[in-house]
Amino acid sequence: MGQRANAFQAEELQRRFQRLDQLLAQNSHWWQVRPFHHRGYCWEKSHPELCAMLDALSDSDLGYLQQDSVAAVRTLSPWLDDGEELLRLSALPRFSGRDLSPPDRLDHGIPGRKWQQILAFAGCITEQSGPLLEWCAGKGHLGRLIASVDGRPVTSLEWQAQLCHEGEALAQRSDVSMRFVQCDAFSPEALQWVRRGEQAVALHACGDLHTTLMRHWRNNNGACLVISPCCYHLINSEEFVPMSEAGSSAQLSLTKDDLHLPLQETVTAGAGVRRLRELELHWRLAFDELQRELRGEDSYLPVPNVRKSLLKESFSAFARWAAARKQLDFPVGIDEEKWLALGLQRLRRVRRMELMAHIFRRPLELWLVLDRALFLQEGGAAVELGEFCDYSLTPRNILLRARSG
């Protein structure tokens, strides 16, 4: 294993988890807030100077601070004492992975950024022989790369039949030792594929998909495990429950909504996607202003997911759709300009409130990953944490590597 990553193991996992837990808990008033739900700043009464500073930020200054966490911490330091320590605690070593030389055109049909992630992840897999399980495989791009460069047998578990069929065709074209198993990762049958003494990998398996693999691997005495967690909020239960004993006795208490915070980054989204997200948020906030008047109640009303095609129509069409979903009487005509102007004011304020909360995105993500690492360590595994690629390639660049004791 890479020398740089060896520094972050064993006692360091526990020490860093405990300190992050302490800082996240004592600063929860800054980040366990829902800016979208509030018409004004959450801290108007307690920190009026902070609110005035945020209001005075130009959009360009805000954009700069959103992209530079060091500058954001420096700007917010009069109100946030622990910002610099949070940044230090959030830093991880970079795994020194091997360079791979896959066959030509193995990346055919895979978006360039995704292919670079797959290459970087596979380069950090230290065991290069023996059977390997690819969990939540999709079309098996990762497994096919590993089977190609290392000549090892790969079993790819995937629940969607169409993806299995397409993956099988790609594997045959590449002439690799690879089989697909169509199986729900949450089913009892999935347990049999996480085998004693074998290796399992998962790149960006969401929420309970990767924690299920971790539980099976620990219970079945797997040999090696390499995962990159993703989408921590996608859990089957209504309440978040830590995996580790350390997490169960932590100071920090998380709601399911809190688990969305680490995912609030757009560094890999294209300009078109970002514009559409911003438009949707603008319209949702404009509708929130409108619904408060329609109901005669000054409180937030959640609106379900919307089909993106509706965002190509008018705000009135969106508002009529949202009102119907919430069973509200909708007037024949509305003053679009009025509500859109109010929504824009809200959007401006929301983005500025988020600046403080976003300081805690990476610390919270690391707390969640450390809880997972400690779960494996408590089961007797030797565990390492590090980054497998640049943050600009994917914000979900944390890699957990475990070997049974």
- For residue 385, the cross-strand partners are 400
Question: Is residue 227 scored above 50 in pLDDT?
Answer: yes
Beta pairing partners, 200: 133, 225
Alpha carbons 164 and 302: distance in angstroms, whole number: 37
CB neighbourhood size of 125 (10 A): 22
Question: Is 223 within the bounds of a domain?
Answer: no
Read off the pTM: 0.92
Bridge-based pairing of strands 178-182 and 154-158 is parallel
* Position 157 in a domain: no
Is 149 among the domain residues?
no
Task: Dig out the tokens for 71 from the structure.
Answer: 């500058």
Q: Which pLDDT value is given to residue 269? A: 62
> Is pLDDT of 267 > 80?
no
pLDDT per residue over 61-120, tens digit each?
Answer: 999 999 999 999 999 999 999 999 999 999 999 999 899 999 989 998 899 899 999 999
Let me know: does 384 contact 6? Beta carbons within 8 Å.
yes
Q: What is the per-residue pLDDT across 162-220, written as a single tens digit (0 to 9) for each?
A: 999 999 999 999 999 999 999 999 999 999 999 999 999 999 999 999 999 999 999 99
H or E element at residue 157? strand 154-158
Tell me what pLDDT residue 109 has: 86
Look at residue 292 and tell me if it is in a domain: yes
Query: How many structural domains is the chain composed of?
Result: 1
- Residue-number span of the structural domain to which 345 is assigned: 271-357
Residue 30 lies in a domain: no
- If you average pLDDT over residues 151-161, what whole number do you get? 97
pLDDT at 308 over 70: yes
**Domain presence at residue 307:** yes
In a domain, 276, yes or no: yes
